[in-house]
Structure 1
């Protein structure tokens, strides 16, 4: 089933959030105003003018659009996402494949309700559409709707999709009180990973990395990072999260010092630099503020996790808590609960702390170090929690 590969290539986007810069166009007030920050490894411009771009967009194939979305995710290239959206906008009578691509683009813009509507439209016509089932399940995981998410995993009953069904279920189980069982399943899938395509293997490894982080499983982390790539943004984020959790700030700095063009990675780099007393931390905080100022001009709301993290790093505790609260209404992944919990504890907000503890109780979300911090109302030194 060839359609499953481009989907799996984008699936981790639903697990850890997008580090992209993206928004509706706006009119700059001066030639010096920052419009966008592009990755340093971005390819040269493909179009000389708007006519050549529109001509190319109108003739683009679904495969080309899918490749652009995958590049946007894996490399943090905002131009690729913009090009994919422009191509999709040219299609006036979308088929199922186009609806799937639109759902992914909407998710990348954090337009979760619209993305779910597209996916449910597909499933109303074809209840067994595996691509839609997997995408919808992962989107529901992002929002913390775990019971509904696993119901879509179980509908993947085709024998040829067994790997995807198991990974889908393990993803949910790892966040709902079955972390040990999920790690066992994932270990079995990881043994198969070398024979799978790179995107599917990366998806399995990223779920394992999240499980290792929350359970402080050094052996699992060592195993995962020995096989996971070191070039893509999702893999770098997972590695940086683990290193920060262990207090390996120097290794984090070395890992990310050439990735200041990617927002989520820049914030993790700043976290390490602050811990190391690196004077470059203030310069990078200024760089991050410039980007946030652009988001505010554009009236964006798709970067609240990043804004909350910046506010914490800049010691703006109350604004950080408000942003983390707003982000919590959209996303409830591991990174979202960490940033919200950190802001709530630092602000001494008992109401928010209790809300998070209740969420962990209700869902059986396993993260012992974080639960301990919430219970004590303080960030223990041994947990080495960071806001990134």
Structure 2
């Protein structure tokens, strides 16, 4: 699973896309058609679920209703964020089925399609859609933000900075500063970026919860990477109070707890979240740190092996970072992990990608294999104490 910050801004995306629709008028399994039944969703009595059922039923009878389809897709994306359930992204794509494969769909569909494409690492296609959206609507902040997110993941920091600059003219100061801090965190400017973001968040009382969670999670990760564990803990807990089921946040906090050797808290945190591969992986890693859990650990390893094998058979490369970590830590196969980390590095270049690549190289005793990452760090900088430790090990200093 790769949950970018854009996923946690799904509510804002819905608002932005609604505005775009008005302007235009003035990895999961993909169903073959919008009316194909994949699974019956839980029937909860709350108003949101009733509204969702009504929209879904209405779309079944009006599959070409653009406004209805985009509304339903937006709601599914938000549900995917709130429930940590990746199936909802597939449901969102199904809602857009009549336009999904068009070379020039309506702009509001392009924006949603770009968001879904980047979630499955189809970055070139996502950027192509965003380019077309922005040609027609250059003042659409969400499109610039999604573009910046993809550019950062791919390591195009100059492009991401330029996109964040456009966001700054169109969105709130907190959104703009968070966008820029996300770039600064991986280009040797982590501490000043963190300080500016913290100050901006303090001055942004009343910010939408999804934006506050985005900022807090980034701040927590930045503190954790520089070794400020107490501060990271405070920020993670603040973010979890606002979004207790956010998938990316749960994974990031679980990683922090694993680094702190607190596996019991990871197991409790992820008790009902193992539908997501990346969260199941983190529970298995926690079980590995916990005495007396051999049977449960073996079951999780078997399940993960089956899921990764199925993803490989589908040609799905979204999980290569997690699969590399699985091979390295749970199956103790550093050669396989290094091959996966190398393939993953061709797609995305974030701190977690650096760490798993270096760790695989260390355990493979192959410093030369890490050259692409070493060159990258030399060119862009790093403020990650875990990466620094691995670098010392590669150089024989630990």
1:152 to 156, 159, 163: 163
8 A Cα contact 2:174 2:201, kept in partner? no
Contact 1:179–1:211 (Cα < 8 Å) also in 2 = yes
TM-score (norm 1): 0.82
Q: Is 1:247 paired with 2:261? A: yes
Cα deviation for residue 282 of structure 1 reads 1.1
The 4+ residue runs of structure 1 with deviation greater than 4 A are 23-26, 44-47, 50-54, 378-381
Instruction: Work out the CA distance in 2 between the residues paired with 1:333 and 1:44.
Output: 38
User: Are the counterparts in 2 of residues 345 and 379 from structure 1 also a CA contact under 8 Å?
Assistant: no
SS in 1 for 2:167: coil
CA contact 1:208–1:220 (8 Å) conserved in 2: no
Which one of 65, 77, 99 corresponds to residue 69 of structure 1? 77
2:359 matched residue in structure 1: 342
Range with bigger deviation, 370-379 or 168-177: 370-379
Pick one of 268, 271, 295 that aligns with 2:285: 271
Question: Residue 122 of structure 1: which of 133, 137, 144 is its match?
Answer: 133
Which residue in 2 is equivalent to 1:132? Answer: 143
The 3 A distance-change label for structure 1 pair 192 and 241 is farther
CA 1:55/1:352 → structure 2, altered by over 3 Å: closer, same or farther? farther
Offset, 1:260:
2.1
Of 61, 67, 80, 1:55 maps to 61
Distance 1:176 1:282 in 2: 39
* Cα separation, partners in 2 of 1:44 and 1:299, compared to 1, 3 Å: farther
Corresponding residue number in structure 1 for 2:206:
195
Distance in 2, matches of 1:148 and 1:331, equals 15
TM-score (norm 2): 0.80
Distance 2:218 2:281 in 1: 22
Q: Which sections of structure 1, spanning at least 5 residues, go unmatched?
A: 13-20, 27-35, 382-388
How far apart, CA to CA, are the structure 2 residues paired with 1:132 and 1:190? 22
**Partner residue in 2 for 1:78:** 86
> Corresponding residue for 2:322?
306
Stretches of structure 2 lacking an aligned partner (at least 5 in a row): 1-5, 14-26, 33-37, 45-51
Deviation of residue 378 (structure 1)?
A: 8.1
Secondary structure of 2:172's aligned partner: helix
- Aligned with 2:111: secondary structure? helix
CA separation of 1:379/1:261 partners in 2, compared to 1, >3 Å: closer, same or farther?
farther
CA contact (8 A) 1:305 1:336 kept: yes
In the comparison of the two structures, how many residue pairs are matched? 355
Aligned 1:364-383 pairs, distance under 5 A: 364-377=381-394
Q: Report the more deviating stretch, 355-364 or 296-305.
A: 296-305
By relative contact order (CA 8 Å, sep 6+), the higher-ranking structure is: 1
Tell me by how many angstroms 1:365 deviates: 2.4
